Amino acid sequence: MAEECPKCPPAGAPLWLATFADLMSLLMCFFVLLLSFATMDAAKFKKLSISLENAFGVQRDIPATEIPMGTSIIAQHFSPAQTTPTPIEEVKQTTNQTSTKLDFTVEELEEVKKTILETKIAEIESQADIIKESLKKEIKKGLVTVETDKLKIIIRINEKGSFPSGTAILKAGFEPVMKKITMAVKGTKGTIHVAGHTDNIPIKTDWYRSNWELAASRSVTVAHYMMAKRRIDPTRIVVEGYANTKPLTTNATAKKRAKNRRVEIIIAQDDPTLLLKLEEVSKIIQEDKLKM
């Protein structure tokens, strides 16, 4: 049986192609009409183009050595407001000082300091003489010594008659001496340092593990006696223990070791020249010039 010939397509274009062609023709006509109706302002377009070039840093004619930077529209159309000084700034900019030049020389300043310091030292020595007079009997017996060191008055309590060997308990007969010392110290000014010292012979007992502990305990005993019954303000007192680190002499003999065993009451006053103001110096110099 012979094979049948495949069916040929019908002659002419498909039916949908005519509709598609009509649609494309209509769209083309629509865009042609839009283009014919449109108008272009060449001057406005040029201004817009220049503005965009400035805003985005476009440079064509001049070669750029650095990266072009954009221009801030705010900086172009707005300027910063003028600031007025506040009252605080006005106060800072004014001063009552008319001149920074001193009306005295450095030599005159040093001379004034020297005079003030010498006057203070003389005052301290006068206070030390009063203390020596009140402790005249005790000094004669060798129980106490009094001396000065610039701005310090040193009342030295020797171990003789004050403390038994190896203890920090005051002897009963030494309490009247401590009372005199306390009353003498009460009438002075300055910080009171109570410092304990020993010799170089080591000590180790049930009460004291070393000379450090013995020296500090003796200082505490003297400080407690001075503060008892509110005789002396506790805020003025500083307790110190030095053991055998600051001897008065060598520890070669028993007599010298006994001299090193002591408790010192040091009355220290501040240097008056440290708080001296320039106005005070100028006033003192002017007064001295008028006296001459």
Q: What is the pLDDT of residues 115-164, one digit of tens each?
A: 888 889 999 999 999 999 999 999 999 899 999 998 999 999 988 878 88
Is 83 among the domain residues? no
CATH classification at residue 176: 3.30.1330.60
Q: What is the pLDDT of residues 38-72, one digit of tens each?
A: 666 667 777 777 777 776 665 555 555 666 565 55
Is 134 among the domain residues? yes
DSSP sequence for 223-243: HHHHHGGGSS-GGGEEEEEEE
Task: Give 155's strand partners.
Answer: 146, 265
Is 81 among the domain residues? no
Regions in the chain scoring below 50 on pLDDT: 1
Is 201 among the domain residues? yes
Q: How many independent structural domains does the chain possess?
A: 1
Task: Give 264's strand partners.
Answer: 156, 195
Which positions ≥6 away from 248 have C-beta within 8 Å? Answer: 259, 260, 262
The range of the structural domain enclosing residue 170 comes to 106-274
pTM of the model: 0.61
3-state helix, strand, coil split of the chain in percent (to 5) is 50, 10, 40
Is 3 among the domain residues? no
Is 75 among the domain residues? no
Is 130 among the domain residues? yes
Q: Is residue 243 a contact partner of residue 215, using CB atoms and an 8 Å limit?
A: yes
